[in-house]
Amino acid sequence: MQLKKINIYNLALAVPLLLAISLIIACFVIPNMIVEDARETAGQSAVQTVKQFKVIRGYYTKNVISKAKASGALTPMIDHVGSPNGIPLPATLIHDLSTLLAKENTTMTLYSAYPFPNRKDRVMDGFMNDAWAYLSTNPTGVYRQEEMHNGKSILRVAVADVFTAQGCVDCHNAHPASPKNNWKLGDVRGVMEVGTNINPAVRAASEIKNFLLIGVFLALLVSFIMVKFGNRAKQHMKEIEEAHLETETARQEAHEISLRDPLTGLPNRRAFSEHIKALDNDASNKSKDFSVLLIDLDRFKPINDIYGHEVGDFVICKAAERLEKAVGKLGIVARLGGDEFGVVFDKTNPDSENLAEEIIASIEVPIVTGNVRAEISASIGIATSPNHGCDTQSLLRAADLAMYNVKKNGRAGWNVFNEDLDVEMRATAKLESDVRSAVSDHKFQPFFQPIVDIQSGRIHGFEILARWDHPELGNITPENYLPIIEQFDLMNEFTSVILQQACSAAKDWPKNIKLALNISTTEICDPATPVRLMSILTDFDFSPMRLEIEVAETALIEDFDIAKQVISSLREAGIRVILDDFGTGYSSLGYLRELNIDGIKIDRSFVLAMDDNKDCEKIVLSMISLAHNLGLQTIVEGIENKSILKRIRGEGATFGQGYLYSKAMPAKKVREMFDTESASFMKVG
């Protein structure tokens, strides 16, 4: 027994002693590491700063000084401030910038042993002379030294400023005030120095060292106390056990928190999956079967985007309350993320279809907060175990496919998974994969439908229409592939590929022939679109004045201000902009007043109905008249008979497009058409 006590005492004593030794070692190691790291970081930052200043000076020399000299309008000079046409020399610019950008802990200096006369008052100190001497023979090196200034530890880092361009050498040799006129490439002209105050790191290291010394003292004091009061070791062990118990309790609480959604307080996706796994085990033992419902809130995103996250969070919480009330004790409700919820319940209770109806009815009741009245609905997918799967992944996939089908067919409803749905979804997934491959492999080909001057019959240009001949399914219509392209954010790549192919085909056509390209909502609301399109035109030496962009009215609603800026940028580049599908969306005189567009394109649905519907005829003719009065050109699409052509021609429509003139054709056929004598005209009928 006595031996055990001695061992316990020795073990207890060893711990603080080892700690004291570790702290003593840390007193020397850690502060030195901090200071050395600060020195290294400051040195690297200084070198990087010098490189950045060199890049700025190089850019200034190449793109400003050279142009100023060439034009003769501005003169680079040392004393540029006193001259109305003077601009700073590169070295003067660096001096000025270093002064402007100087920070409390960082300074930038440029000096030389061969200063211009107006800079001879800048005396080089000892470090500067040593740096010059070292870098003159080691131009690729870095000279550094740590000094004390006004009680601060300053790391001075110097890098050689070497002549790297013959133009700079010639300029210095030719300058009448240059102290030296036999400079060569590779000569060290000056020194760029960055001074960094590392005193904060030195002070922090000192404070840490003092803190560690206090720790050493405390550890030794503990050792003394434990030697003197060793019989208290048992109590100490008890305290350790209690601390361990508290840690375990805290970890358990953290685990419980990790299973809860912080906004609604509902179980989260992790808890939802764990609950399904537990029921899976019961199902495998044939003790019960159950259903899984995946619920997605319809029309939530616009509410969240328009009214902000505060309103969005309120709607989510209110929807969660209604779901819990509808489900009650039949099962559990979980928030899976965003506006998606999940429900798991015992199938021996009322069936899942009735529960889905109750959930939809409760969700569709308007949610009011402040002045906002939010009206949402729910799309629900249902899967049951063991019919639709015997594991979590299979059940969630089946419910997700069922929910996707509801959304695809109009939302605000429910659907139970079935094998036909699986086949359909697999076919959809394959088509999605094929579309993505077709975009990356350039399988889409441009076809060209003529746009004709209605009054003269001359060909104005062609609308670019993408065609895809699927190896198994044949011709796939835009209605089937465009939503997939948008879904996978491939619209920029798709449009670029089609325009590249069209420009390649049309660059040798008559120079007065235009190309009309449709762009999507995401593109008209992307400030980078004009640059991307102009880059393609430049690559193919295709004049921007030959390109017309057609953008649908509905695309402008996404972000009108940005769309307006993009349209202005396109027109400034020389690209014409046409408002497409006019009359089908949010047609507004406000758009025509605010947007800087060239014309409107009247939707074919109105034109095709002109023979049977007098109201449609009045609408078409009124839109032509309106555009004419506003100084806008009109393109009428869907012209399929001479009767319609005669009426819109009489109203003064500018351009026409439709089967009466021609269907869309491949580039080869267009080329053949231009090779005929009647290349400039389209025959009607």
pLDDT tens, 579-617?
988 876 555 566 677 888 999 999 888 898 888 888 888
Tens-place pLDDT, residues 386-414 = 777 767 777 888 888 888 888 878 888 89
- The CATH homologous superfamily to which domain 9-201 belongs is PAS domain (3.30.450.20)
Q: What is the mean pLDDT of the chain?
A: 83
452: which strand partners? Answer: 459, 656
| Other Cβ atoms closer than 10 A to 624 | 22
- What pLDDT, on a 0 to 100 scale, did the predictor assign at position 513? 95
Residue that wins the pLDDT comparison between 250 and 460:
460
Sign of the CA dihedral with 574 first, then 580, 585, and 586 last: positive
What are the DSSP E strand ranges found in 198-303? 290-298
Tens-place pLDDT, residues 105-136 = 778 888 888 887 777 667 788 888 898 989 88
Sign of the CA dihedral with 168 first, then 173, 175, and 179 last: positive
* Element holding 672 (H helix, E strand): helix 667-674
What are the DSSP E strand ranges found in 163-219? 188-197
Tokens of 579: 């408002």
DSSP state of 658: S
Burial class (CB in 10 A: 0-12, 13-18, 19+), 532: middle
Instruction: Name the percent of the chain lying above pLDDT 90.
Output: 28
Confidence band, pLDDT 50/70/90 cuts, at residue 322 = very high
376 in Cβ contact with 367 (< 8 Å): yes
Which residues are CB-contacts of 20 (< 8 A; sequence separation ≥ 6)? 216, 219, 220, 223
Angle between helices 560-572 and 529-539 (to 10 degrees): 30
d(CA 601, CA 275): 56
Q: CA 431, 435, 437 angle in degrees (round to 5)?
A: 115
Residue in this structure with the two tokens 């005193």, named with its chain if needed: 199
d(CA 521, CA 519): 7
φ and ψ of 657, to 5 deg: -155, 135
Q: What is the pTM of this model?
A: 0.49
Least confident of 75-89, 454-468, 521-535, 566-580: 75-89
- What pLDDT, on a 0 to 100 scale, did the predictor assign at position 111? 85
461 in Cβ contact with 660 (< 8 Å): no
Least confident of 13-22, 69-78, 139-148, 234-243: 234-243
| Length in residues, the chain | 685
Residue 225 has pLDDT above 90, yes or no: no
Pick the CATH number of 444-465+497-672 from 3.90.1150.170, 3.40.50.1980, 3.40.50.1100, 3.20.20.450: 3.20.20.450
- What pLDDT, on a 0 to 100 scale, did the predictor assign at position 327? 87
Region(s) of the chain under CATH 3.30.70.270: 269-426
Region(s) of the chain under CATH 3.20.20.450: 444-465+497-672
Residue 238 has pLDDT above 70, yes or no: no
- What pLDDT, on a 0 to 100 scale, did the predictor assign at position 665? 95
Region(s) of the chain under CATH 3.30.450.20: 9-201
293: which strand partners? Answer: 343, 382
Residue 456 has pLDDT above 80, yes or no: yes
d(CA 602, CA 587): 11
The separation between CA 592 and the C-alpha centre of its own chain, rounded to angstroms, equals 31
The separation between CA 307 and the C-alpha centre of its own chain, rounded to angstroms, equals 22
Which of helix, strand or coil describes residue 153?
A: strand
115 in Cβ contact with 122 (< 8 Å): yes
Which residues are CB-contacts of 266 (< 8 A; sequence separation ≥ 6)? 260, 320, 324, 333, 334, 335, 341
Confidence band, pLDDT 50/70/90 cuts, at residue 249 = low
Residue that wins the pLDDT comparison between 186 and 540:
540
d(CA 273, CA 354): 24
Residue 8 has pLDDT above 60, yes or no: no
584 in Cβ contact with 620 (< 8 Å): no
Which residues are CB-contacts of 422 (< 8 A; sequence separation ≥ 6)? 398, 401
d(CA 674, CA 590): 41
Tens-place pLDDT, residues 427-451 = 777 888 899 999 999 999 999 999 9
Residue 354 has pLDDT above 60, yes or no: yes
Tens-place pLDDT, residues 612-655 = 888 888 989 998 998 888 899 999 999 999 999 999 999 999 99
| Other Cβ atoms closer than 10 A to 590 | 10
* Architecture, CATH, for domain 269-426: 2-Layer Sandwich (3.30)
- What pLDDT, on a 0 to 100 scale, did the predictor assign at position 65? 78
d(CA 664, CA 308): 45
Confidence band, pLDDT 50/70/90 cuts, at residue 21 = confident
Residue 453 has pLDDT above 50, yes or no: yes
Range among 33-42, 72-81, 453-462 rated most confident: 453-462
- What pLDDT, on a 0 to 100 scale, did the predictor assign at position 483? 83
CA distances from 122 to 34, 113, 218, 251 (A): 35, 10, 54, 65
Tens-place pLDDT, residues 28-53 = 777 777 777 777 887 787 788 777 77
What value does the mean pLDDT take over residues 228-239?
Answer: 61
Residue 6 has pLDDT above 50, yes or no: no
d(CA 664, CA 682): 13
The separation between CA 64 and the C-alpha centre of its own chain, rounded to angstroms, equals 33
